[in-house]
């Protein structure tokens, strides 16, 4: 089975890293409740202020539908609001 992988690299001020990690469970709970085709997500700290979010989706259409919703729920919004800047966003398959 092929899955779609979202790779999003972003920056968060080092002093807000703990807030980012605290907001993560709420974001994941909202994704599970609201995002069809959401399979799994892993957050990797790349540098002091840089992070990589690896999110797996059942199909490219599920990923596109999620992107269209944006930060539509409080847990997702709380996580996204902590992001200072986007470094890159890519899509692939595995």
Interval 63-85: pLDDT, tens:
999 999 999 999 999 999 999 99
Task: Confirm if 54 and 41 have CB atoms less than 8 A apart.
Answer: yes
The single residue listed with the structure tokens 């690896």 is 54
How far does CA 4 lie from the centroid of its chain?
Answer: 13
- Is the model's pLDDT at 1 over the cut of 90? no
**pLDDT tens per residue across span 8-66:** 999 999 999 999 999 999 999 999 999 999 999 999 999 999 999 999 999 999 999 99
Report the predicted TM-score, pTM, of the whole model to 2 decimal places: 0.94
The single residue listed with the structure tokens 């540098």 is 47
Domains, the chain, ordered by start: 4-89 (3.30.70.100)
Task: Confirm if 78 and 19 have CB atoms less than 8 A apart.
Answer: no
């Amino acid at each position: 089975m092929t899955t779609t992988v979202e790779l999003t690299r972003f920056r968060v001020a080092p002093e807000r890293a703990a807030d980012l990690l605290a907001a993560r469970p709420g974001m994941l709970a909202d994704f599970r409740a609201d995002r069809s085709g959401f399979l799994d997500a892993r957050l990797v700290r790349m540098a002091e202020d840089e992070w990589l979010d690896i999110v797996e989706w059942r199909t490219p259409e599920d990923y596109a539908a999620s992107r269209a919703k944006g930060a539509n729920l409080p847990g997702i919004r709380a996580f996204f609001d902590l992001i200072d800047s986007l470094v890159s966003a890519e899509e692939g398959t595995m």
